[in-house]
Amino acid sequence: MGGHVGAPHSESGYVKTWIYVIRRLIALIPVALVVATIAFVLIHLAPGDPASIIAGPDATAEDVENIKHQLGLDQPLPFQLVRWYGRLVQGDLGRSIFLRKPVLDAIIDRVEPTLLLTVSATVIAVLIGVPSGVISARFHNSATDQAFMMFALFGISVPNFLLGLIFVLVFGVWLGWFPVAGYSPLEYGWAKTVRSLVMPAFALGLVQSALIARIARSSMLDVLREQFITAGRAKGLGERAVVYKHALKNAMIPTITIIGISFAVLLSGAVVVETVFNIPGLGRLIISAVLRRDYPVIQGVVICIAGVYMLVNLLVDLSYLLIDPRVKYQ
Amino acid sequence: MAVNDPAADTVDLGCASAVERRSPLWLVQLARRKITLAGAVIMLATLVVGVLAPVIAGNPTQMEVQARLSAPSRTHWFGTDDVGRDVYSRVVYGARLSIFVGACVVLFSFVVGVTCGLIAGFYPRLDNLVMRLMDGLMAFPAIILAIALMASLGPSVANVIIAIGIVYSPRVARVVRGSVLVIRETAYVEAARALGAADVVLMLRHVLPNCLSPVIVQASFVFAAAVLTEAALSFLGVGVPPYVPSWGNILSEGRLYIQQAPWLVLYPGGAIMLTIFGLNLFGDGLRDLLDPKIRGLQTERQRAG
């Protein structure tokens, strides 16, 4: 931002930054191990054993034993756990019981709509949330501010799937502006894809924009109370210059965090909203897997989403290095 | 406005920080803020509706097949669903379920979260172990972990409570641990220790009561999150079993009949919005009052996560 790109200006500064980045990556390892272990425990928490579910209701005891042996389920638990870590490191998420293909392939097949939905919802949330928060803060305690904030408080009270259903009713059924449900893949032309994503993306993005507006507003208010703002006003700067040039830059830091977290939250929100609009993404994949008790798919989707979540959080932390020249990492 | 402002932070609320935590005045103070009061009224209304459900509503599972998907009328105020069940009765019983699930999740996540937070904050040796487990649980987005847990536990009301409780316990634990780390170092804890108080006594009598206010603030947000998560899980078909009247379940059926029977979406949807709105209004007010140290931003972040 501005003239400062990156905190470090010296040789040793660069080294320090890289050491920090590497340390953060190493710090992820224990969390990743716990995540992998939780995903492993999930399948063993289930009533009945996975082998008999895979074998199906008509299987004989012998079939079940065979499958157990094939999957290594007859081995001691710690041994299975170590094997599970080993497979994860190699990117092997196992095979889907129902879809009869590798879990990773099933996930890749479904990733396009979920990713597009998440990205467009994030863009909508930021484009609406940040300006309304900033305007609210600039006209603090005015009617505009109160109206925005009441709206935002109401916004965080509406679950995204409900807003989606209301959109379907109003813009799909009553007004007929957008298709009620379904998704048109990119390969059939992007215009159709955009049309099918407008309602779900707004349903997801609007709710998050309310949250972003509240945060942008409070961080803006914090900054506006600082001494350098008073100094700026004292030397005769106009209110516009104070708010948009000096305060905004400083208020962006907490806001960027929230944008990053928003992406992660919206990814999981997309999983829910997909059901409203019948979009064949990761959400439909995991829900149908739950209904069919297709445990490898559940594990795979959960691990992938948690991975993205962790990665985004890391990137948010690291982005401070670029945004805020004052931040020094030891 | 500054006092009523829901997203205001400490600087606006200089007056609130002066309020003593144990002051009997705090209820009066709370009532004085009109917005917080409005939130409390909405919450209370939901509670009354939920408690009185058997009195004010009919049988939520009785089917009148000949009257299926009929529009709101004098006999069926909110219309009927696809098998002819009275939507009004189902929405009212849905309030009962939401409150029950919300309260149980708060209880569950507080018992687990406070215990873990106390232990982690009190015993530096266990801190790392407990908090890494909590970090791992929090590395999953809430709804995703809840879905995965429901897949293993199977659909039932108790399992919904357990699943959502597991999801929110780490968030409570983190808040408690943070307070414990500060309070552990205070002079009065040291004095109590010097007088020979056992660890359990120290934790329960000296540390815990003093870290309660951020925990109480957390309660209203966990409650709201639990109601929302239950609705989302049931809507997705992996929450409470389909025959249990729940707002999420009604919406899930409503999605399929949205063209013929919009009332299946509008009434339970309105109920969810109003309840969560009330909880948020009340929670914001409670936060400003009980715990001026927690700034708006932090709560927002917890909410975002």
Q: Is A302 on the interface with B (CB under 8 A)?
A: yes
User: For chain A, what is the largest distance between any 2 Cα atoms, rounded to a whole number of angstroms?
Assistant: 86
- Give the pLDDT band (50/70/90) at residue B234: very high
Least-confidence region, from A58-67, A139-148, A179-188, B18-27: B18-27
Question: What average pLDDT does range A291-312 have in this prediction?
Answer: 87
Of B141, B232, B255, the CB nearest to A165: B255
Question: What average pLDDT does range B85-106 have in this prediction?
Answer: 90
Q: Report the range out of A125-139, A267-281, B97-111, B217-231 with the highest average pLDDT.
A: B97-111
State the count of interchain CB pairs (< 8 A) between A and B. Answer: 185
CB < 8 Å from B in window 80-99 of A: none
- Chain A partners of B6 at a C-beta cutoff of 8 Å? 149, 153
Taking 70 as the threshold, does the pLDDT of residue A326 lie above it? no
- Give the pLDDT band (50/70/90) at residue B109: very high
Q: For residue A309, tell me if it sits in a domain.
A: yes
Q: For residue A229, tell me if it sits in a domain.
A: yes
Q: How far is A12 from chain B (nearest CA, A)?
A: 31
- Give the pLDDT band (50/70/90) at residue A254: confident
3-state SS, B251-282, equals HHHHHHCCCCCCHHHHHHHHHHHHHHHHHHHH
**How far apart, in whole angstroms, are the C-alpha atoms of residue B142 and residue A212?**
19
Taking 50 as the threshold, does the pLDDT of residue A15 lie above it? yes
What pLDDT is stored for residue A156 in this prediction? Answer: 82
For B67, which DSSP code? Answer: G
Q: Is A154 on the interface with B (CB under 8 A)?
A: yes
Least-confidence region, from A177-186, B92-101, B227-236: A177-186
All structural domains of chain B with their residue ranges: 13-304
Higher pLDDT, residue B117 or A172: B117
Probe site for chain B from A162, A217, A255 (most B CB atoms < 10 A): A162
Q: What is the pTM assigned to this prediction?
A: 0.83
Least-confidence region, from A45-49, A175-179, A306-310, B139-143: A45-49
Question: What tens digit of pLDDT does each residue of B60-83 get?
Answer: 777 777 777 777 877 777 777 777
- Give the pLDDT band (50/70/90) at residue A204: very high
Q: For residue A14, tell me if it sits in a domain.
A: no
Q: How far is B236 from chain A (nearest CA, A)?
A: 7
Q: Residue A230: give its domain's CATH number.
A: 1.10.3720.10
Q: For residue A112, tell me if it sits in a domain.
A: yes
Q: Is A295 on the interface with B (CB under 8 A)?
A: yes
* Nearest of B182, B55, B164, B64 to residue B113 by alpha carbon: B164
Q: Mean of the per-residue pLDDT values for chain A? A: 82
Question: What average pLDDT does range A205-211 have in this prediction?
Answer: 89
Alpha-helical segments (H) within chain A: 11-45, 50-55, 61-71, 77-89, 103-138, 143-155, 160-167, 190-224, 227-234, 239-240, 248-277, 282-292, 295-323
By the 10 Å C-beta count (0-12 exposed, 13-18 middle, 19+ buried), A239 is classed as exposed
What pLDDT is stored for residue B28 in this prediction? Answer: 62
Question: What tens digit of pLDDT does each residue of B11-42 get?
Answer: 333 344 444 444 456 666 666 677 788 888 88
Inter-chain residue contact A173 with B272, CB threshold 8 Å: no
What pLDDT is stored for residue A6 in this prediction? Answer: 46
- Round the CA-based radius of gyration of chain B to a whole number and report it: 22
Residue B282's φ and ψ, nearest 5 degrees, are -65, -45
- Give the pLDDT band (50/70/90) at residue B273: very high
Q: How far is A10 from chain B (nearest CA, A)?
A: 34
Half-sphere exposure of A111 (CA within 13 A, CB side): 12
Q: Is A303 on the interface with B (CB under 8 A)?
A: no
Higher pLDDT, residue A4 or A27: A27
Q: How large a percentage of chain B has pLDDT more than 90?
A: 21
Taking 50 as the threshold, does the pLDDT of residue A304 lie above it? yes
Least-confidence region, from A236-245, A276-285, A318-327: A318-327
Question: What tens digit of pLDDT does each residue of A239-251 get?
Answer: 788 878 778 877 7
Question: What tens digit of pLDDT does each residue of A88-143 get?
Answer: 888 888 888 778 888 898 899 888 899 999 999 999 999 998 888 888 888 887 88
Q: How far is B282 from chain A (nearest CA, A)?
A: 11
Half-sphere exposure of B220 (CA within 13 A, CB side): 24
Probe site for chain A from B3, B98, B229, B255 (most A CB atoms < 10 A): B255
Inter-chain residue contact A258 with B141, CB threshold 8 Å: no
Residue A102's φ and ψ, nearest 5 degrees, are -60, 140
CATH superfamily entry for domain B13-304: MetI-like (1.10.3720.10)
**How far apart, in whole angstroms, are the C-alpha atoms of residue A207 and residue B273?**
12
Of A161, A169, A211, the CB nearest to B304: A211
What pLDDT is stored for residue B228 in this prediction? Answer: 92
Q: For residue A53, tell me if it sits in a domain.
A: no
Inter-chain residue contact A161 with B235, CB threshold 8 Å: yes
- Which residue from B minimizes the CA distance to A282? B144
Inter-chain residue contact B141 with A45, CB threshold 8 Å: no
Distances from the Cα of B254 to the Cα of A14, B50, B92, B235, B272, angstroms = 57, 21, 16, 10, 14
DSSP A185-235: -GGG-HHHHHHHHHHHHHHHHHHHHHHHHHHHHHHHHHHHTSHHHHHHHHT
What pLDDT is stored for residue B3 in this prediction? Answer: 37
Residue ranges making up the domain that contains A113: 104-324
Inter-chain residue contact B7 with A254, CB threshold 8 Å: no
